[in-house]
Structure 1
Amino acid sequence: MSEPISVQLYTVRDALSADRDTVLRRLAEIGYRAVEPYDPTTDPKGFRQVADDLGLSVSGTHASALLHREPAEVFDAIATIGTDKVIIPAGVAHEEFTTRDGLQRAADLLNGLAEQAAGHGLRIGYHNHWWEIEPEVEGRHAIEVLADLLAPEVFLEIDTYWAAVGGADVPALLGRLSGRVEALHVKDGPVIKGEPHTAVGRGVMPVPEILAAAPGAVRVVELDECATDVFAALADSHTYLTSLEDS
């Protein structure tokens, strides 16, 4: 895997809001060499400076702000933090993923954003939760139908944990979406809604099989909620994923 293991900064959102620079330094000390912000509009120049000083690249960024702010302003901030991957992590009504017409509307939204992003040298992706997986449309998981309706330049970031919660055989799903998936949220835990996540390798997710099904995708560690020390869990996750790459 040529891309460094990344970490979604939502994992450390509370600490980040209190002291961004210290948090980024701690992540770099753990061994992470890439991060995935969730709000690129907060002090993008300052963020880029600190990241550069610590040797952290930006593997991509979530950008829900695109759905309620002036897109050009958001795109400028994203260009400043230093990535061309712009990921919509939510914001489309859950009901849209239950019918083909709803999926077409979701695709139209993403395709329109992709056209705007291209003018700024950026690319649009979509990140799933369970509600794009659980509904079946035309006998397939809704996200598979969505993928067929997306413009070729729109990529997917598959949240492997939420895909499992939604009922997918995750390695098989990744195989069917091959070529569209450019990033994975690599997470672990009991695969039960509402239960906290664990360090990667400490739960029930078949992580090696998942990674093997999307060998070219960027690995992004995330814990939505954590019952233990979150930095310890991130360190354990990094050690585990590095051991898989070295084996």
Structure 2
Amino acid sequence: MSKIYHLLSFVTLLFLGLDNSFAQSGKPLFPQKPGLVSYTHRQSFAKDVAATLDTIKALGITDMEFSNLFGKTPEEMRKLLDERNIKCSSFGVGYEELVNKTEEVARKAKVLGASFVRVAWIPHKAPFKLEDAQKAVADFNKAGKILKEQHGLTFCYHNHGYEFQPYQKGTFFDYIVQNTDPKYVSFELDILWAFHPGQNPAKLLNKYPKRFKLMHLKDLRKGVKGDFTGQTSTENDVALGTGQLNIPAILKAAKKAGVQHYYIEDESKAKSVQVPQTMAYLKSLKE
């Protein structure tokens, strides 16, 4: 499987004219290697964790965000990661786990070597309401304080679209950001799930500098119309630069805002082709 990825990466580079020999002069806009969200390879991880990590390492990816340990203990997963010089920088958990098992979440995150704990969904009955946002604010502040003060971990909430419904002069997402304590609550910007409900990811980064520590890199298929459901077909995930989002503008704003980790997330069946294509695209960008 890793050999296939190597071939796809090479072919993609040649096809797009993004190999070093074709690269335009100028300073790279995205000089670092991107990370990867484990959900991208969820089916493969469920079958063989070690082989999937080998495939990911063959791409040159050494930074991971895990939200599932795929039957492994944190200790077992850490051993597999260390053997490949891959780091788990962010550990994703469910909302209820964060609230009710904060200490256990912290233990697992620290065993994995993560610096961040992330939640990506607030339980609610659609449409998302003020009381949902208020409860999330209280829970995030409480859990975030425990994680930071007792364990040195940073909590991040990952937006998912429904929070951008209008509220007063802004959105419920604005309410969450403005009412959570910056010392204890940060954010992971999923750029697709900001764009899908009609937001401009670059403007969000500019609006709340220093609140976004993590980012999910993904693009939305052209022609797809968004809404506030927080849902779209996984096949609407496309390689960066081929969809609707203005990736260069977002990356410039992210750099200015101090985003620390960037993770590719591709939920589609075409990930084996699209992830190498996304990496080639990122490498090609110039300031």
TM-score (norm 1): 0.89
| 1:235 partnered with 2:266 | no
Name the residue aligned to 1:214: 254
Q: Output the CA distance in 2 between the equivalents of 1:44 and 1:147.
A: 31
Q: 1:4 to 1:15 in 2, by over 3 A?
A: same
Among 245, 256, 271, the residue aligned to 1:205 = 245
Name the residue aligned to 1:32: 61
Amino acid at match of 2:119: I
Q: Output the CA distance in 1 between the equivalents of 2:73 and 2:132.
A: 35
Structure 1 residues 66-107: Cα deviation after superposition (integer angstroms, max 9, x where no partner)? 2475322222111100012001111332558432x4422211
- What secondary structure, in the 3-state scheme, does the structure 1 residue paired with 2:239 have? coil
Structure 1, unmatched stretches of 5+, are: none
Q: Output the CA distance in 2 between the equivalents of 1:82 and 1:161.
A: 27
Among 153, 156, 160, the residue aligned to 1:122 = 153
CA contact (8 A) 1:67 1:91 kept: no
| 1:75 partnered with 2:106 | yes
- What secondary structure, in the 3-state scheme, does the structure 1 residue paired with 2:238 have? coil
CA contact (8 A) 2:99 2:139 kept: no
Q: Output the CA distance in 1 between the equivalents of 2:137 and 2:103.
A: 20
CA contact (8 A) 1:127 1:159 kept: yes
Structure 1 residues 25-76: Cα deviation after superposition (integer angstroms, max 9, x where no partner)? 1111111120100125842112111211212122212111624753222221
Name the residue aligned to 2:21: none
Q: Output the CA distance in 2 between the equivalents of 1:76 and 1:59.
A: 14
- What secondary structure, in the 3-state scheme, does the structure 1 residue paired with 2:263 have? strand
Larger C-alpha radius of gyration, 1 or 2?
2
Amino acid at match of 2:273: A
Name the residue aligned to 1:93: 124
Q: CA deviation at 1:142?
A: 1.7
Among 227, 233, 237, the residue aligned to 1:194 = 233
CA contact (8 A) 2:61 2:86 kept: yes
Among 211, 216, 232, the residue aligned to 1:185 = 216
TM-score (norm 2): 0.78
Among 52, 57, 61, the residue aligned to 1:23 = 52
Name the residue aligned to 2:228: none
| 1:48 partnered with 2:78 | yes
Amino acid at match of 2:68: D
Amino acid at match of 2:281: Y
Structure 2, unmatched stretches of 5+, are: 1-29, 226-231
Q: Output the CA distance in 2 between the equivalents of 1:3 and 1:243.
A: 12
RMSD value, Cα = 2.1
- What secondary structure, in the 3-state scheme, does the structure 1 residue paired with 2:122 have? coil
CA contact (8 A) 1:92 1:106 kept: no
Equivalent residue runs for 1:148-163 within 5 Å: 148-153=178-183, 154-163=185-194
| 1:10 partnered with 2:10 | no
Amino acid at match of 1:136: P
CA contact (8 A) 1:144 1:177 kept: no
Structure 1 residues 162-184: Cα deviation after superposition (integer angstroms, max 9, x where no partner)? 11101102211221121101111
Percent identity over the alignment?
23
Considering Cα pairs closer than 8 Å and 6+ residues apart, tell me whether 1 or 2 has the greater RCO: 2
